[in-house]
């Protein structure tokens, strides 16, 4: 196509309007037209990455294949577009400033006074253009975190202003705002949107497209009014009303010609509207699945914010669709789980997921849940710490090591069935120091894990410091828990399972990060299938 085109997605009026979903939807529509597309996220916080952020505040920490701890929006990008993102797809203010300060310390600026303009903005612009320059994408969509008017976002907006001036027709700004509904008056109010656009204009950016987030449909009159007051073409004002599922948003945007408008404004041929056949088939299958009785799956963990397990919930949802059943996820707080209430808490659950996490809090409840599902043969799937809890519970209640534990929870345990990785022992910093990113795993033929994947060699993403202690491996295998997935380089145990049970698997890696709309993860599909079979019995 020649030069890379840059689309900037900003937000106004309120946060959490769904900039990530709109960015992903635009990316999906352009991808369906044959363009090579990637999406990046700029976060205005000063943390280097979200790896040390509290999941209660920020939701899950996503991990890219190259081992970067990233914002959960990258999960949306990957699930919608079926692409893999890297460290270059998620930039924070902290990383921008660190890069500039490192350059200053090296003397790269030759004694100049370092300022927000031009040094910080130049570094932002360099990172915006990096993906286009390095990988020659047709489109780079850049989502700017936060809300227009926030002091933290100003350097990013100034950088967009400069890029729009420097690159001209190769740039476009999509501004997402909220149109509140006043129930007492029975009206949608556009004034907050007008003020948000005015705020954007005050820093030198005229949005090219407006996406209006609303709970009720907007009339043509309201859309024309917004267009007139905000200096935007009538057809460049589109609405994004609440949908049954986020996966319908690309179709809703396409129905309003958003992709055609973008191509037209960027001087590209519009051509025929793509059919999005596989995407529509997925949605049809999903809607058909929702007419049936849902399959109930418990998610046992300590974080009660839904976004803390975002990728797991999405992977379960996708797996349900491909099993032609809707998955109803029931969160079970592991901090409140005891031997006395576990039967009631897991009553009616066809399968149980043991969620990932860190630290001592809530871990005893996970042991309680695992013991219950193991002794009652309920399909169980443990991820990362969930897998480690499966190993510890088995050591305590089957191998007879009542004081078995992880070094993370008890440094003096005599039976450290989960131990700190050798290369982690000298590390004291928390941020970016775990075993991160994609690693190879070799599966044991004949195992349930092998049956799910259908291949012997796989690659999955990791985020952990502790590992299964191989000194105990023979004792586990003799007692019925098999180590069926091994890293060929380090001999690290990646997957454990109990073959005698219907479906009882723990993975040290995070399979949820690899599940996409059109390619659901095989372990999640197999787990949901096992849960459905269990429900029948």
Which residues carry a binding-site annotation for L-glutamine?
56, 357, 385-388, 408, 465
Report d(CA 504, CA 298) in Å as an integer: 14
CA angle 313, 314, 318 (to 5 degrees): 120
Q: What is the DSSP string of 180-192?
A: -EETTTTEE--HH
How buried is residue 503: exposed, middle or buried, by Cβ count under 10 Å (0-12/13-18/19+)?
buried
Non-local (6+) Cβ contacts of 347 within 8 A are none
Q: Which residues are annotated as a binding site?
A: 15-21, 56, 73, 143, 150-152, 189-194, 225, 243, 357, 385-388, 408, 465
On whether the CB atoms of residues 362 and 302 are closer than 8 A, the answer is: yes
What stretch of H or E contains 397?
helix 385-397
The gap from C-alpha 389 to its chain's centroid, in whole angstroms, comes to 24
Report d(CA 39, CA 365) in Å as an integer: 39
Cα–Cα nearest to 67, from 517, 527, 520, 509: 509
Residues that are catalytic? 384, 510, 512
Sheet of 404-406: strands edge to edge?
404-406, 415-420, 466-468
Report d(CA 426, CA 330) in Å as an integer: 39
Report d(CA 24, CA 429) in Å as an integer: 34
Is the torsion defined by CA of 124, 127, 132, 134 positive or negative? Answer: positive
Kindly state the tokens that stand for 83.
Answer: 């692409």
Report d(CA 408, CA 405) in Å as an integer: 8
């Amino acid at each position: 196509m020649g030069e890379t085109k840059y689309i900037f997605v900003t937000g106004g009026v309120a946060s959490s309007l769904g900039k990530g979903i709109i960015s992903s939807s635009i990316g999906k529509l352009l991808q369906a037209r044959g363009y090579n597309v990637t999406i990046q996220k700029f976060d205005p916080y000063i943390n280097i990455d979200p790896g040390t952020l509290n999941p209660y505040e920020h939701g899950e920490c996503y991990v890219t294949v190259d081992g970067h701890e990233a914002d959960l929006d990258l999960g949306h990008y990957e699930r919608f577009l079926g692409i893999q993102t890297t460290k270059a797809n998620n930039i924070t203010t902290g990383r921008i400033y660190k890069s500039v300060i490192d350059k200053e310390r090296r003397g790269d600026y030759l004694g100049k006074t370092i300022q927000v303009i031009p040094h910080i903005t130049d570094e932002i612009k360099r990172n915006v253009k990096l993906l286009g320059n390095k990988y020659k994408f047709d489109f780079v969509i850049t989502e700017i975190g936060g809300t227009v008017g926030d002091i933290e976002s100003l350097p990013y907006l100034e950088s967009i202003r400069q890029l729009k001036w420097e690159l001209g027709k190769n740039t476009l700004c999509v501004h997402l705002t909220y149109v509140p509904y006043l129930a007492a008056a029975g009206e949608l109010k556009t004034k907050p949107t007008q003020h948000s656009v005015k705020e954007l204009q005050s820093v030198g950016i005229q949005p090219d497209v407006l996406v209006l987030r609303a709970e009720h449909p907007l009339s043509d009159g309201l859309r024309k009014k917004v267009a007139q007051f905000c200096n935007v073409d009538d057809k460049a004002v589109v609405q994004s009303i609440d949908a049954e599922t986020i996966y319908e948003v690309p179709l809703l945007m396409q129905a309003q010609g958003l992709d055609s408008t973008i191509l037209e404004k960027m001087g590209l041929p519009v051509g025929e509207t793509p059919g999005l056949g596989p995407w529509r088939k997925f949605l049809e299958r999903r809607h058909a699945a929702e007419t049936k009785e849902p399959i109930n799956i418990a998610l046992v963990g300590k974080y009660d914010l839904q976004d803390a397990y975002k990728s797991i919930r999405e992977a379960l949802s996708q797996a349900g669709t491909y099993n032609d059943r809707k998955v109803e996820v029931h969160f079970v707080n592991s901090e409140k789980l005891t031997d006395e209430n576990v039967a009631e808490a897991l009553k009616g659950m066809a399968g149980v997921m043991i969620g990932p996490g860190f630290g001592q809090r809530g871990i005893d409840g996970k042991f309680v849940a695992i013991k219950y599902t193991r002794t009652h043969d309920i399909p169980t799937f443990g991820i990362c710490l969930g897998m480690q809890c499966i190993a510890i519970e088995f050591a305590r209640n089957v191998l007879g090591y009542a004081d078995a534990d992880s070094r993370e929870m008890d440094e003096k345990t005599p039976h450290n069935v989960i131990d700190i990785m050798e290369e982690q022992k000298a590390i004291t910093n928390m941020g970016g120091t775990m075993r991160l990113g994609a690693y190879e795993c070799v599966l044991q033929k004949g195992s349930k894990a092998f049956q799910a994947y259908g291949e012997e060699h796989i690659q999955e993403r990791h985020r952990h410091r502790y590992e299964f202690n191989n000194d105990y491996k023979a004792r586990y295998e003799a007692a019925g828990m098999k180590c069926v997935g091994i890293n060929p380089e380090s001999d690290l145990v990646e997957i454990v399972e109990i073959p005698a049970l219907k479906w009882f698997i723990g993975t040290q890696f995070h399979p949820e990060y690899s599940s996409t709309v059109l390619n659901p993860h095989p372990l999640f599909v197999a787990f949901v299938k096992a849960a459905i079979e269990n429900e029948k019995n």
